[in-house]
Amino acid sequence: MKRMILPHIFASFVSRSSHFWKRTMPITRTSSSHVIGNNRSNQRLFSSAVDVDKDVQLMEDILYRVRQVNYMPPHIQNDLFEFRVENKSLGKIRPKAAELLCKTRVDGNAIFQVAEEQDAKPFVTLTNHAGNSFESRSAAVAGVTEQLRRDGVVKGWRDELYPIKEHFYMEPLFAMERAAVPMLGALEYGVHINGIVKTDNGETKMWLARRSPTKSKYPGMLDHIVAGGVPHGVSLFDNVIKECMEEAGIPESVTRDGVRSAGAISYETYSRAADTVTRAVLFCYDLTLPQSFAPMPVDGEVEEFFLVSIEQLKAMMAKTNNDPIKPNCYSVIIDYLLREGHLSPEIPGYLDVIRELRSGDCS
């Protein structure tokens, strides 16, 4: 039997002591201080030691960037409510978000509730007022999110529906406004495109974009040439074609000729500012563009595009970089550098990066 949980359960979750936790995995650094002397052999040894030191620092910086979007302290994880519908696990909700969702009424009716089963941890689910169909659930949840928007809780409204489902290949149980998805901690799916140019001299370069200063999230930061969430009812490849045209003016024929799928990365991260959980799977694509082609801002989301070399990309990994790339884009770019052999498996930390690039729920 399921039963409603009294409001005091929220207070018990919120009042638990917080302990700041951060994963750290120190990398052994090779010192070059032992190299002495002025002969040519010692100079080569010194140069080799400096290169090793530089590579180790690069891997430390890369791990730092990957962990920026893989931040889930144990005390936060332990306090999450599972979100279930039809006995399917759809999300992870923070206590404050659960309370807001449950107390928000649509035509006087609660749409969300906290319930429990015998000897099991309480979970959030939909009430009978949400109905049992995709359409009725979507409408009921929309009523909640629209009220939370009016209350100033949901910000950055996009007028874009995301499918809510247990894994990518199942039919969604409902759809909801993109800006509100982190309140449920539901899986979000996106496509990220690495825009690649091969120069006549054999050098590889990548197109980057600078986000518009008017963007609701990460204004003015560096970004992929093209990236976007996958809305309800749109396939991955159709979304790639659409986003390439809308964001960078890339003709469909150019995209079809040059693009290839290149795997996926996943992450799960807690936002202290919003007190919500973001769980994402990003499908990666490599798009090889002609040297003669230059992307153009189209929909106002991008301020400018520019080319960078592989060495410049590596330099952008530094923690001290004062013109950083959008956090989740770092992971996709790092995945590209690994796949294309621009990072050596000889460097300590390499396997940690491989593992942590898919440490979220990749389903």
pLDDT at res. 52: 76
In order of 9, 179, 256, the CA distances from 14 in angstroms are 9, 24, 50
pLDDT at res. 39: 56
**Which residue has better confidence, 14 or 255?**
255
The dihedrals phi and psi of 2, each to the nearest 5 degrees, come to: -95, 145
Token digits of residue 40: 């040519």
**Which residue has better confidence, 12 or 274?**
274
Confidence band for 53, pLDDT divided at 50, 70 and 90: confident
Res 215 pLDDT > 50 = yes
pLDDT at res. 40: 54
Q: Whose structure tokens read 């002025």?
A: 38
Instruction: Name the amino acid, one letter, at 240.
Output: V
Give the C-alpha separation, 15 to 106, whole Å: 29
Count Cβ neighbours within 10 Å for each residue of 80-91 and write b for 16 or more, e otherwise. Answer: bbbbbbeeeebb
Res 118 pLDDT > 90 = no
pLDDT, tens digit (0-9, with 9 covering 90-100), for 269-297: 999 999 999 999 999 999 999 999 999 99
260 touches 193 (CB < 8 A): no
pLDDT, tens digit (0-9, with 9 covering 90-100), for 321-345: 999 999 999 999 999 999 999 999 9
DSSP label at 178?
G
pLDDT at res. 236: 98
**What 3-state DSSP class applies to 284?**
strand
DSSP label at 358?
B
In order of 37, 349, 354, the CA distances from 54 in angstroms are 22, 13, 20
Token digits of residue 190: 């996106």
Give the C-alpha separation, 233 to 314, whole Å: 37
Res 151 pLDDT > 70 = yes
Write down the mean pLDDT value for the chain. 89
Token digits of residue 180: 């509100």
The dihedrals phi and psi of 132, each to the nearest 5 degrees, come to: -120, 5
pLDDT at res. 84: 97
Give the C-alpha separation, 283 to 169, whole Å: 14
Confidence band for 50, pLDDT divided at 50, 70 and 90: low
Beta strands in 45-168 (DSSP E): 81-85, 88-93, 105-106, 109-110, 112-116, 123-126, 161-164
Q: What is the mean pLDDT of residues 66-77?
A: 96
Nearest of 226, 279, 274, 210 to residue 72 by alpha carbon = 279
The dihedrals phi and psi of 152, each to the nearest 5 degrees, come to: 80, 10
pLDDT at res. 38: 55
234 Cβ partners below 8 Å, 6+ apart? 242
Give the C-alpha separation, 208 to 227, whole Å: 11
pLDDT at res. 358: 97
Res 23 pLDDT > 50 = no
Q: What is the mean pLDDT of residues 200-228?
A: 96
Nearest 5°: the CA angle 57, 59, 60 is: 65
Q: What is the mean pLDDT of residues 236-240?
A: 98
Query: For the ranges 52-56, 85-89, 134-138, which has the lowest average pLDDT?
Result: 52-56
Percentages (nearest 5) of helix, strand, coil residues in the chain: 35, 25, 40
Query: For the ranges 52-56, 224-228, 349-353, which has the lowest average pLDDT?
Result: 52-56
235 touches 329 (CB < 8 A): no
Res 10 pLDDT > 90 = no
143 touches 107 (CB < 8 A): yes
Confidence band for 307, pLDDT divided at 50, 70 and 90: very high
Query: For the ranges 7-21, 46-60, 209-223, which has the lowest average pLDDT?
Result: 7-21
147 touches 242 (CB < 8 A): no
132 touches 174 (CB < 8 A): no
CA dihedral in degrees (229, 230, 231, 233; nearest 10)?
A: 170
pLDDT at res. 76: 97
pLDDT at res. 216: 86
